Amino acid sequence: MLTSGQIDRWLREDIGHHDVTNEVPGDTKGRLVAKQKGVAAGISAAASVFEHLGVSVVSSLENGTPVSAGDVVFETAGPARETLRAERLAVNLAGHASGVATNTRRAVERAQAVDPTVRIAGTRKTTPGLRGIEKRAVVAGGGDSHRLDLSHMVLIKDNHIAEMGLENALETFQKRVSFATNIAVEAESLEAAQRAIETGADIVLLDNFSPDELQTIVESLTTAREQVSQNVLLEASGGITLETLHAYAATGVDIISMGSLTHSASSLDYSFRTD
């Protein structure tokens, strides 16, 4: 959900103090058209830019729909000036979000070809101001949003453990947050992972391991997961790319999180055409 304040700021940023070429009278119709194969996302955000300026949007595709070159994403009808002013921002939003969704879909397909149950998740490495749009684009691409902000899930990191001790850290944070909040614990070794499971972590984060190391750890943890907590999830992260994803997916981890889903996606190409 975009706020009117956000849309206003973004339009202002693109229009400046004195835009003359869009001072066009009358009404016009237009359509947002994909110029490339990919996964549509940011569509409701793009539509809301037009609607914010009094241009109506009809027959919109849903976020997550696959598109090919030539597909019409939605159609608009309304005042020409406002339509033209909304165009660039709307295309930029849809292109950016769809790039993230397409990027995610690619990763999900590659990983699930190896292990159909593994989840591909985003991170907090998102573009400032676009957290919500990018997280929803990851979901549109079949990925997992991962934690939405620092308050959504607690992550106990190395430095917390070094300073407070694992058990103490877990207990301390459990008291400070709600039952509604899961707690992930970063583990630097198999032993650390076992202790984290025993202490009640909801997720164990295995950061910067090689696929081989990971596989050994995951296998060694089988008993602990069966006996102590069937629900605990194992997450791998740390510089995992489309190229290495295959090997990570084969390790048996439940979740693979990749910053590149959001911070390094190429935009999907759209054009907006008026009649």
Reduced to 3 states (helix: H, G, I; strand: E, B; else coil), residue 11 is helix
* Nearest in space to 141 (alpha carbons), one of 169, 109, 104: 104
Helix/strand/coil for 67: strand
Residue 125: active-site member: yes
- In whole angstroms, the minimum distance from the beta carbon of 47 to its own copies comes to 13
CB of 138 to its own copies, least distance (A): 9
The answer to whether 261 and 100 are in contact (CB under 8 A) is: yes
Question: For residues 120 and 217, which CB has a smaller minimum distance to its own copies in the complex?
Answer: 120
Q: Which is nearer to its own copies, 110 or 125 (CB)?
A: 125
E strand or H helix at 205, and its extent?
Answer: strand 203-207
Cβ–Cβ < 8 Å for 26, 83: no
Owner of token pair 């791998």: 236
Pick the closest to residue 27 from 75, 79, 82, 77 (CA basis): 79
Tokens of 167: 């058990």
Do the Cβ atoms of 4 and 63 come closer than 8 Å?
no
Q: Which residues contact 231 (CB under 8 A, 6 or more apart)?
A: 202
Element containing residue 122 per DSSP (H, E): none
Least separation in angstroms between CB 191 and its own copies = 23
Nearer to its own copies, 126 or 199 (CB): 126
Q: Could you give the CA distance from residue 82 to residue 73 in angstroms, rounded to a whole number?
A: 19
Question: Of the listed 29, 35, 125, 157, which one is catalytic?
Answer: 125
Q: Which is nearer to its own copies, 21 or 59 (CB)?
A: 21
Q: How far is CA 216 from CA 143, 151, 198, 223, 242, in A?
A: 25, 32, 19, 13, 22
Minimum distance, C-beta of residue 57 to its own copies, in the bound complex (Å): 13
CB of 242 to its own copies, least distance (A): 12
Report, as residue numbers or ranges, the catalytic residues.
125
